[in-house]
Amino acid sequence: MSSLISESEIAAAVQAAVEKHGKNHDALIPILSEVNRAFGYVPGEAIREIRKHLYDPANRTYVAEGQLYALASFYDMLSTKPRGRHVIKFCENAPCHVVGGKAIWDTLRQRLNLENGETTPDFKWTLVTTSCIGLCSVGPVILIDDDIYGNLTPEQIPDILERYE
């Protein structure tokens, strides 16, 4: 059991997500997203709890735990390990790269002392790459939580990060 999240908190979050999105297979990603939003990641205990709720009585089967783990680890909007309060997604696609993305990436790594997928020891920041944010016309681009920053230069990074202090 995760030391910071109780079984009852996990059960309540999963129950709320299942009630909101339903018990069918189409609800898997929305349910995982709700749990991820509640805790900042999808704990293993939550995956087991979700599985209990998604029983198919017609076929007398449960959703496979492996399928839930695969979904939770495939999509970059989800995580199976704790992330920081602020998640920085760096677009590493070619359009961002050719307009200076590498310098932005290097500045973020140096400033936060993180590599891709890592989280600061105080759980303030997580730094991840993504293949595309969908804003190629304003590259290089980063997404911090729900805030988008485009046309970036390395000199802007310290000021942007200070907004989250």
What domains can you pick out in the chain, each with its CATH number? 7-74 (no CATH), 86-162 (3.40.30.10)
Predicted structure pTM score: 0.76
| Cα–Cα distance, 21 to 49 (Å, whole number) | 15
Mean predicted confidence (pLDDT) in 26-31: 93
Helix axes 7-21, 28-39, angle to 10 degrees: 140
Question: Averaged over 76-100, what is the pLDDT?
Answer: 91
Residue 132 pLDDT: 86
Q: Please tell me the predicted confidence (pLDDT) of residue 51.
A: 92
pLDDT at position 3 is 52
What does pLDDT average to over the chain?
91
> What does the pLDDT average to over 111-138?
93
What are the angstrom distances between the C-alpha of 144 and each of 77, 87, 89, 92, 121?
12, 6, 6, 15, 18
Confidence of residue 122 (pLDDT cuts 50, 70, 90): very high
What single-letter DSSP state applies at residue 79?
-
Q: Cα separation of 84 and 143, whole Å? A: 14
Which amino acid is residue 83, in one-letter code?
R
Residue 2 pLDDT:
43
> Residue 101 corresponds to which tokens in the numbers above?
């993305």
Please spell the DSSP secondary structure of 43-76, one letter per residue: -HHHHHHHHHH-EETTTTEEPPHHHHHHHHHHST
Instruction: Work out the percent of the chain whose per-residue pLDDT is above 90.
Output: 75
Model pLDDT, residue 1: 40
DSSP character at residue 81: S
How far apart are the C-alpha atoms of 120 and 118, rounded to whole Å?
7
For residues 95-120, average pLDDT: 95
Q: Is the pLDDT of residue 78 over 70?
A: yes
